[in-house]
Amino acid sequence: MLRVLAVDDEVPALEELVRLLRADPRISHVGCAADSAAALRDVSRVLVAGERLDAVFLDIRMPGLDGLDFTRLLTGFAAPPHVVFVTAHDDCAVTAYDLGALDYLLKPVRPERLAEAVRRLDEVVRRNAAAEDGAERPDQDEMVPVELAGRTRLVSRRAVTHVEAHGDYVRLHTQEGSFLVRMPLAALARRWQPAGFIRIHRSTLVASAHISELRFDGGRAAVQVGGELLPVSRRHTREVRDLLVRRFRHAAPPPETPN
């Protein structure tokens, strides 16, 4: 069961957030704080006491210490809680994800969208616990929530062949179509690197498992991903080539020994 802290300087917004969080059966405890300074004291007290705090759900624009500065200060703790921003402002999403935010919700919060954030939190907490126990599977998947025609759809990371940057968004490409997600490419590259995603261009991230061919033409490199030929920048050519060579060697059967 999850233990979380809700933070907002507006009393009605804080009460509504606490109410929604307490209604979720995956959450066993919901603390609350009226500003970031009080929240920081609460986090420090909980962690120093050796207790668990899985996430902080907080606003960004608050008097004194704002939500972004609060998140930066959390990195000073040995095992900081995850952060989910709940705000009326959509202009801080890029910074929030750069700081490692788990999710970014816009007010007024829709119950189903908050439930999706809690589901993601629960999945991450369980995965991290399994990793600490040495039980995490190397093929652990991740489901990415995308907004589509007013609905939230979950896209499997395994289904993503490549990702392209589009300003403050990224476009996830799958065989079924493409989906826009508000997240910087740099943050996604760091997050998905252990799952085999590799940067081939400043604006392109590719799942190495979906690369079928590496081509060279006039000194320019490109990779074949499904039915698309994607250019590889000079900066990333050697990294891509070395990765594919290692994958080929790993996949190749051992040589037969003569009888």
Residue with the larger pLDDT of the pair 73 and 7 = 7
Read off the pLDDT band of 174 (50, 70, 90): very high
Closest to 28 measured CA to CA, from 59, 57, 5? 5
User: For residue 135, is pLDDT > 60?
Assistant: no
- The confidence score (pLDDT) of residue 140 equals 61
**Tokens matching residue 36:** 């970031």
Other CB atoms closer than 10 Å to residue 23's CB: what's the count?
12
Indicate the pairing of strand 55-58 with strand 2-7.
Answer: parallel
Closest to 40 measured CA to CA, from 61, 16, 69? 69
Q: What architecture is the 2-132 domain classified under in CATH?
A: 3-Layer(aba) Sandwich (3.40)
Please state, for a pLDDT cut of 70, what percent of the chain lies above it: 88
15-55 pLDDT, tens per residue? 999 999 999 999 999 999 999 989 988 888 888 677 899 99
CATH 3.90.1200.10 assigned to domain 145-251? The reply is no
Nearest-10 Cα torsion for 54, 56, 57, 58: -170
- The confidence score (pLDDT) of residue 244 equals 73
- The owner of tokens 């999403």 is 93
- CATH code 3.40.50.2300 region(s) in the chain: 2-132
User: For residue 258, is pLDDT > 90?
Assistant: no
User: For residue 204, is pLDDT > 90?
Assistant: yes
Q: What's the longest Cα–Cα distance across the chain? A: 80
Phi, psi of 107, rounded to the nearest 5 degrees: -80, 150
Please state, for a pLDDT cut of 90, what percent of the chain lies above it: 44
- The confidence score (pLDDT) of residue 31 equals 96
Closest to 193 measured CA to CA, from 243, 255, 124? 243
**Tokens matching residue 133:** 């126990």
**Tokens matching residue 188:** 């996604």
Interatomic CA distance for residues 27 and 42, integer angstroms: 18
- The confidence score (pLDDT) of residue 207 equals 93
Kindly report the average pLDDT of the chain as a whole number.
85
The answer to whether the CB of 84 falls within 8 A of the CB of 101 is yes
With H, G, I as helix, E, B as strand and everything else as coil, classify residue 23: coil
Indicate the pairing of strand 211-217 with strand 220-225.
Answer: antiparallel
User: For residue 120, is pLDDT > 80?
Assistant: yes
User: For residue 137, is pLDDT > 60?
Assistant: no
Alpha helices in the chain (DSSP H): 11-22, 36-48, 67-74, 93-98, 111-132, 185-192, 234-251
Interatomic CA distance for residues 82 and 100, integer angstroms: 8
- The confidence score (pLDDT) of residue 136 equals 43
80-119 pLDDT, tens per residue? 899 999 999 888 888 888 888 999 999 999 999 999 999 9
**Tokens matching residue 82:** 């995850």
Read off the pLDDT band of 134 (50, 70, 90): low
- The confidence score (pLDDT) of residue 117 equals 93
Residue with the larger pLDDT of the pair 138 and 66 = 66
Q: What is the mean pLDDT of residues 210-228?
A: 88
* Whole-prediction pTM: 0.58
- CATH code 2.40.50.1020 region(s) in the chain: 145-251
